[in-house]
Structure 1
Amino acid sequence: MSSDRSTSKHSTTSKHTASTRIAAAFADAGVSGLLHARDLDTGAEVALGADTPVSTSSVHKLCLLTTLFREAAAGRIDLTRQLDVPAAGRTTGTTGLAVMLDAARLSLRDLAYLTVAVSDNAAADLLWQEVGLDTVNRTMTQLGLTRTVAVHTVRDLYAALAEDAGPAGPRALLEPAVLARLRVLDPAFTNRSTAREMTALLAALWHGEACPGDHGADLRRLLGRQVWPHRLASGFPFDDVRVSGKTGTLPTLRHEVGVVEYPDGGRYAVAVFTRAAGTALTLPAADAVIGTTARLAVDALRAPDRSAEHPR
């Protein structure tokens, strides 16, 4: 057997083993999971349920920001333009402008920063208003992502969530019977995509196809400023490995998509979508398994010749 065929067989075996270990890790964490990882330079991939539609939650903000920066690169939007943000009428949320009490004035690019860094719902909806759902969907279609569809803004998503929860409010979201009727968990109703299409979007961003030039570089840097270390980044606790990404969270759903960059030049797009069996709002194991499974996938893509550079 030639060395090339031997290497190919080793790589295929490694990816199969990784898929088995990834499925086991999801089960141990008490979640069902979907994953797609791709080497941005070779196209090699690891997949588990990668073509299954999923409710994207705040991961869809990546589609919004890609469109915003793409429109700016085309000269149709000025990212330095300032918006007045009144104190009243903001989209609800737990971070950023959504919880601030006073009027503010910010540029579109600073609103984009808040949308990424702390997943600010109010900032995101100001950008949705600027760009429009149709423009975001048209951009995804232009990039070949025909299963990635925005149906509503964050405000409308939360309105549907509140309607389905009923008069008991957020407390009802701990009840399995209530969770079963939440439309925002159903990809047929809400913003949706697949794990494979999300890594394709990341690949287009990192290759300069989705957003060219300085605007693309700015967006990539922005995605590296997300503050949450407990999901994707937890699988790569090294000072010389860069993780850029965007999370998404709804009742029972914990997601993250992002790019992992190694100092040797290896670059890997990863999308992990999970749904927990338990209804608790705090499930550390469900958060951590995103990093665990991403690492398993990336290690498999780096096998056999580069994975030894960082301990598993």
Structure 2
Amino acid sequence: MNPIEEQLHAVFADAGCRGWVRAERIDGAGSIVDLEGDDPVVAASVWKLVLLVATARAFDEGDLTAMDPVRLVPSQCSPGPTGISSCSDPVTMSWRDVARSMITVSDNAAADALLGAVGLDAIADVIDFLGLENTRIVGGTKTLGAQIVRDTGRLSADEALGLLASNYTVIDSAGFDPAYTSSTTPRDSNTVLRAIWLGTAASPEQCDYMKRVLSQQVWPHRIRSGLPFPDVQVAGKTGTIGPIRNEVAVVSFPGEHPVAVSVFTRAARMDLFLPLVDRAIGTAARIAVTAVRRSP
């Protein structure tokens, strides 16, 4: 194990979690930091990054029109703490703003609406097109919620997640096992980010749109916490479910080549809030990105 890997292991051990990391320059040059970066991990909401690409390609191909309005009724949508799911009344917005809400606030209702519009076949096409050898998307947020409800014997996703968040119970779910739920690897996640930044994931126009949307993500508590500099851009996507906390992002320092970094974790505890793990993701990203930046 090299010194960088030792540092990363220590960060995750101190936070009470396992961690998987990969960082590399977008242009493919320089060194790579990789800590079990080919291991399958639970994607959680990071799967929405693949759906974003599928949506952009649907815009390109005319299967969806970006500016067409869509009406969503919160009571008929997947539950979630943010976005359309948290609204009281029906919402009408364009498809491109539905996609924006899916990424910027990890809107579950928006994600399932888009998945219903483009279909799982479009997701499979993106996986094949980008060569994501170890990424598998089995369904959207509604599918994952139903899986957790079944595993816990509860009546709703909220009840199930409340039970799982208690450390006084010993209950697990297949939704936290990459063999049984939507999964990816740090390498594959970086591949998606690189394709977007290099303009090969879709048309140049749609890749620019995806970069803007990813740069608008509102959460500052993970990768951004390790790189809190106003002139550094962090554009990415988080993922959270039960003991799983992830973030994948492109970090851009002024005048330097952007760096893709993916950090996935599984905590020993199920608490709803685990600030030590969130901070560890930021620290691990800083260590990995710094090592890549220093390489020739």
TM-score (norm 2): 0.94
Q: Does 1:215 align with 2:206?
A: yes
> Alignment partner for residue 105 of structure 2, among 118, 126, 140?
118
1:229 aligned partner: 220
1:177 aligned partner: 170
Aligned counterparts of 2:194 and 2:203: Cα–Cα separation in 1: 13
Aligned counterparts of 1:119 and 1:144: Cα–Cα separation in 2: 25
Pairs within 5 Å for 1:123-134:
123-134=110-121
1:157 aligned partner: 144
1:10 aligned partner: none
2:77 aligned partner: 90
1:144 aligned partner: 131
1:308 aligned partner: none
Alpha-carbon shift at residue 142 of structure 1 (Å)? 1.2
Alpha-carbon shift at residue 172 of structure 1 (Å)? 1.9
Pairs within 5 Å for 1:1-312:
16-41=2-27, 42=29, 44-167=31-154, 169-173=160-164, 174-175=166-167, 177-179=170-172, 182-303=173-294
Alpha-carbon shift at residue 243 of structure 1 (Å)? 0.2
Alpha-carbon shift at residue 170 of structure 1 (Å)? 3.4
Instruction: Provide the secondary structure at the position in 2 that maps to 1:178.
Output: coil
Aligned counterparts of 1:279 and 1:87: Cα–Cα separation in 2: 27
Structure 1 unmatched ranges of 5 or more: 1-14, 306-312
Instruction: Provide the secondary structure at the position in 1 that maps to 2:259.
Output: strand
Alpha-carbon shift at residue 265 of structure 1 (Å)? 2.3
CA RMSD of aligned residues (A): 1.5
Alpha-carbon shift at residue 220 of structure 1 (Å)? 0.5
Instruction: Provide the secondary structure at the position in 2 that maps to 1:239.
Output: coil
Instruction: Provide the secondary structure at the position in 2 that maps to 1:44.
Output: coil
Aligned counterparts of 2:205 and 2:113: Cα–Cα separation in 1: 23
Aligned counterparts of 1:111 and 1:74: Cα–Cα separation in 2: 18
Alpha-carbon shift at residue 101 of structure 1 (Å)? 1.0
CA offset digits 1:181-234 (Å, max 9, x no partner) = x01111111111101110011111110111221111011010000000000111
Alpha-carbon shift at residue 40 of structure 1 (Å)? 1.2
CA contact (8 A) 1:223 1:244 kept: yes
Change (3 A) 1:284 1:129: same
CA contact (8 A) 1:234 1:288 kept: yes
CA offset digits 1:25-51 (Å, max 9, x no partner) = 011111100001111121531000101
Alpha-carbon shift at residue 85 of structure 1 (Å)? 1.1
Instruction: Provide the secondary structure at the position in 2 that maps to 1:119.
Output: coil
TM-score (norm 1): 0.89
Once structures 1 and 2 are overlaid, which stretch shifts more, 81-90 or 25-34? Answer: 81-90
One-letter code of the match for 2:170? A
Alpha-carbon shift at residue 278 of structure 1 (Å)? 1.7
CA offset digits 1:76-118 (Å, max 9, x no partner) = 3211111111243111000011111101111101101110111
CA contact (8 A) 1:166 1:172 kept: no
Aligned counterparts of 1:239 and 1:34: Cα–Cα separation in 2: 27
Aligned counterparts of 1:49 and 1:187: Cα–Cα separation in 2: 14
Once structures 1 and 2 are overlaid, which stretch shifts more, 260-269 or 41-50? Answer: 41-50
Identity across aligned pairs (percent)? 39
One-letter code of the match for 2:281? I
Deviating runs (4+, > 6 A) in structure 1? none
Alpha-carbon shift at residue 297 of structure 1 (Å)? 0.5
CA offset digits 1:125-158 (Å, max 9, x no partner) = 1000011112111211111112111101111111
One-letter code of the match for 1:37? A
